Amino acid sequence: MKNIVYFDLETQRSAAEVGGWNHADRMGLSVGVTYSTASGSYSIYDEAHVMDLIHELQRADLVVGYNHCDFDYSVLMGYYPMDLKSTVPSLDILQEIKGYIPHRLGMDALATTTLGVGKTAEGLQALQWYKEGRMLEIAEYCCYDVKITRLLHEYGAKHGRLYYKERNGKIMAVPAKWKL
């Protein structure tokens, strides 16, 4: 059985706190979450276990995320010198749909229109929770984002498209050219 690992992480610091998005390796991991199709379970990682997270990603047959190739892997570069983007087989849903949409589309826009569910919070809220030591809330939020990522990936594979609303409210389809 192919082991697809769905992945997301939250950080300790914002882009503003580290000097911009090009310094994601300085943001620090607060919580990382994976869902493995081989085990059928979620795993939650804190900063002390970041290498376990990296090893799980490296063992996967495919890692699926939303903007994980450009952002999440860059955060992990603060702990691991190898370029995960070029060494781990990955499908980044944002990268896959980017060429079809004239603007950056958040995962919530796809999830709300395609699945009828939205995100439970946003990254800035997770940063505040980290500062308050509320790690359980971050883990729950991150698990939910991983679940949405998995559902979007599976829906796209089954139906060959995902949906979003344009600013004028019109529902648009975007091709999903991946398979399970």
Number of domains in the chain: 1
* pLDDT interval class at 38 (50, 70, 90): very high
* Residue 180 falls inside a structural domain: no
pTM of the predicted protein model? 0.95
Region 58-66: mean pLDDT is: 98
* Residue 119 falls inside a structural domain: yes
Q: What is the CATH number of the domain that holds 46?
A: 3.30.420.10
Contacts made by residues 24-29, CB under 8 angstroms, sequence distance 24+: 24/71, 24/74, 24/75, 24/77, 24/78, 25/74, 25/75, 25/77, 25/78, 26/78, 27/75, 27/78, 28/75, 28/78, 29/53, 29/75, 29/76, 29/78, 29/79
Residue 6, pLDDT > 90, answer: yes
* Residue 95 falls inside a structural domain: yes
Region 103-115: mean pLDDT is: 93
Residue numbers of the domain that contains 104: 4-175
